[in-house]
Structure 1
Amino acid sequence: MPYPQPSPTAPPWLKAAPLLFLLLWSSGFVFLKLGLHYADPLTFLALRYACVVGLLLIPFLWIRPALPANRQAWLHLAMVGLLLQAGYFSLTYLSLKSGMSTGAVALITSQQPILIGLLAPAIAHERVDRIRWAGLALGVAGAGLVIGATSSLDATSPLGVLFAVLALLAITGGTLWEKRYGTPTHPVTANLVQYTVGLLAVAPLAYMLEPMHVQWAPGLLWSLAYLVVANSIIAISLLLAMIRHGEASRVSALFFLVPPVTAVIAFVLLSETIPLLAWPGMLLTAAGIYLVMRKPRQEACSQTVGGL
C-alpha cells in the first residue's frame, strides 16, 4: 500500500500552524485545571465532547461538507478518533485519577516524539537523521527540566503509571495512523466523526467509574467554552493538518514545547511562579525544536528550485 507523502500544495496558512497550535494546546492545560475544580475528570471530558459534537452538527447540516469516499476512509477517521480522543485523553485523565501527579503524567507522555522518531521509519517511511535525533534528545532533557522544576513528579501509583504509558502509546499510534492512512477530509466531517467516536467511548467510562458530579459555575463554563472551541476544534484540526502535510517526527516534536509554553501562560494568567531551573530547560527545549524542525540544506534547495 502506498504511503501518503507531504502535499506539494500545502495551504499558505500552514506556516503559522505550529505557533498557533502551541498557544492553543498549551493554554488548554490552564483551562483544564480550572474546569476540573467543578466536575469529575471523565464526566468533564464527556461533557466537552458532547458540546463539540453538538456544535459541529450545525455547520455539518448547514454546509453539507463532502463525506469520506469509501468505507476505509470512514474507518481510518474513526480509528484516529479512537486513539486520540478516546484513548489519549481518557487514559491521561484516568492516570491523574489514579494518583499520578500532573508532572509525572506530562513527563511520560512528553516522550511521544522519541517514539515517533523510532517508529516513523518503519511505519511512515520517514528518515530521522542524526541532527534531528540530537534535537529530540535536547527536547527530552529540556522538557524534563521544566516539568521537574514546576511540579511534583510523584509516580507511586502503578496503575497510574500504566495509564500514562498507555496514553503515550495512544497519541503515538494516532499520529502515525493519521500519517500513514489519513486522507484529505473536510475538517467539519473529520472532527464530527472523531469526536462522536470519543463521546461514545468516554461517556460509558464516566458512568461506570465516576459519580458524574458537575457544578455549574462560571468557571466551568469558561473552561468548557475554551476547550471546546480552541482545543477540540481548532487545535486538533491544526495538528492533523500539519501531520498530513508534513513529517510526523517533526510535528510531534512540538509537544516538547508544551510544558514550557504552559508554564509561561500559567505565569501570565494564573500568576504561577516559574522556578529558576525551568528557564535553562526552556532554552534546551527551544534548541532541540530548532534542530528537529529545521530543513536540511539539500531539502531546502530542492524546494527552492522546484518553486522557481
Structure 2
Amino acid sequence: MTSKRPLWLAAAPVLFLLLWSAGFPIAKIGIAHAEPMTILALRYTLVLVLLAPLALILRPPLPKSFRAGFDVAVTGFLIQVVYFGLCYLAFKSGTSSGTVAIVVCLQPILVGLLAPRFAGEPVSPRTWAGLALGLIGAGTVILSHAELKTQGPFGLICTAIALFGMTGAALYEKRFGVTQHPITANLIQYAVGAAVTLPLALWTESAPISWDWEFIAVMAYLVLGNSLLAISLLLAMIRAGEVARVSALFYLVPPLAALFAWPLLGEALAPLGWAGMGLAAVGVMLASRRARG
C-alpha cells in the first residue's frame, strides 16, 4: 500500500522552479547596485536576522547529534559558498551568464552518473533519455539567448567547481540528509554562508552599496524567495524523491530565467529559444515521471 504524497510536495517542483529561475535576472539587477560577495554576505546575514527571533520564540528542535548538524552544515557550505559564491565570482571575473549556465547545466547529467554509486539510486533508460533531451533543450535556449564569453581561465575554473558544488550538495543531502526543522536547518546553513562570504566581502570589495527601492526589492526577493523558500523546497524534494529526477528540474531553469529576463531586463527570447524551452520541458517530464508498479 502506497502512501499519498502531500499536496505541498506535489506542488513543490513548480514553485521551486519559479522562485529559483526568477532569482537569476533579479540577482543581475542587484549586481548593478553592489558587488557580488557583498550581495551574498548581505543576503545571508539578513536571513539570519529574520530567523533568529523566530528561533527564540518557537525554540525548534536542534539536530539530534553533532553528525546530524555537521551534515546540514556541509550541504549549506556546498550550496551557499561553493555554488553561489563561485558563480558570482565567475560573473565578477567577466564570464558571461551564458557560459556559466552551459557549464552548470551539466549538473543533472553529473548527478545521473554519480547517483548509483553515491546515493544507491539506479538511473533508468527513460530518465537518461529525459536528461539528454533536457540538456539539448536548455543548451539551445542558452545559445540562442546569451553571449558566450570569458576573460581568462579563472571564471571557467570557478564555474566548474560551482558545478561540482551543487552536484555534491544534491548527492550529500540524499545520502546523509535527514529531516530537520526548517528554521534550524536554515540557521545552520546560512550561518556557514555568512561566515565565509562576509570576510571575503570585507577583504576583497570596497565599492559602496547603491541603496534605493530597486535594490531593497531585489534583496527582499533573494532573501525570502531564493534563500528561504526555494532552498527549503529543493532539499525537501531531494529527500523525498530520486536525486537524478529532482536534478533534472534544473534543465528548466535557463529557459525560465530567460523568460523572466524578458519583462525584468528587456532581454527578449529568440524563436530558437522557445523551441529549446519546449524540448527541455519534455526532457524534464521524461526524467521526472515516476515509474508505475
TM-score by length of 1: 0.92
- Whether contact under 8 Å (1:86, 1:198) holds in the other structure is yes
Q: How far has the Cα of 1:29 moved from its partner?
A: 1.0
Give, in whole Å, the separation in 1 of the partners of 2:51 and 2:4. Answer: 27
Q: Counterpart of 1:154 in structure 2: which amino acid? A: K
Q: How far has the Cα of 1:102 moved from its partner?
A: 0.6
The answer for the alignment partner of 1:97 in structure 2 is 92
Which stretch has the larger CA shift, 153-162 or 127-136? 153-162
Equivalent residue in structure 1 for 2:149, among 142, 151, 154: 154
The answer for the alignment partner of 2:185 in structure 1 is 190
Q: How far has the Cα of 1:9 moved from its partner?
A: 7.0
The answer for the alignment partner of 1:177 in structure 2 is 172
The answer for the alignment partner of 2:67 in structure 1 is 72
- Whether contact under 8 Å (2:21, 2:253) holds in the other structure is yes
1:216-255 → structure 2 map (5 Å cutoff): 216-255=211-250
Deviation digits for residues 121-161 of structure 1 (CA, Å, limit 9, x no counterpart): 00000010111111111111111110111111113521110
Q: Counterpart of 1:108 in structure 2: which amino acid? A: V
Q: Counterpart of 1:123 in structure 2: which amino acid? A: F
Matched residues, number: 292
The answer for the alignment partner of 2:127 in structure 1 is 132
Q: How far has the Cα of 1:69 moved from its partner?
A: 0.3
Are 2:200 and 1:205 aligned? Answer: yes
Q: How far has the Cα of 1:272 moved from its partner?
A: 2.3
Deviation digits for residues 263-308 of structure 1 (CA, Å, limit 9, x no counterpart): 112223443211111011111101100110111233xxxxxxxxxx
Equivalent residue in structure 1 for 2:263, among 250, 265, 268: 268
Q: How far has the Cα of 1:108 moved from its partner?
A: 0.4
Structure 2 unmatched runs, 5+: none
Give, in whole Å, the separation in 2 of the partners of 1:190 and 1:171. Answer: 17
Runs of 4+ in 1 over 3 A off after TM superposition: 7-11, 268-271
**Percent identity of the aligned residues?**
49
How big is the alpha-carbon RMSD for the aligned residues of Structure 1 and Structure 2?
A: 1.3
Q: How far has the Cα of 1:58 moved from its partner?
A: 1.7
Deviation digits for residues 231-273 of structure 1 (CA, Å, limit 9, x no counterpart): 1000000001000111110111111000111111222344321
Residue 277 of structure 1 aligns to a residue whose secondary structure is helix
Alpha carbons of structure 1 residues 195 and 10: separation in structure 2 relative to 1, 3 Å: farther
The answer for the alignment partner of 1:107 in structure 2 is 102
TM-score by length of 2: 0.97
Give, in whole Å, the separation in 1 of the partners of 2:135 and 2:208. Answer: 37
- Whether contact under 8 Å (2:93, 2:151) holds in the other structure is no
- Whether contact under 8 Å (2:87, 2:100) holds in the other structure is yes
Give, in whole Å, the separation in 1 of the partners of 2:230 and 2:12. Answer: 9
Give, in whole Å, the separation in 2 of the partners of 1:266 and 1:160. Answer: 23
The answer for the alignment partner of 2:21 in structure 1 is 26
Give, in whole Å, the separation in 2 of the partners of 1:201 and 1:8. Answer: 41
- Whether contact under 8 Å (2:44, 2:223) holds in the other structure is yes
Give, in whole Å, the separation in 1 of the partners of 2:4 and 2:195. Answer: 35
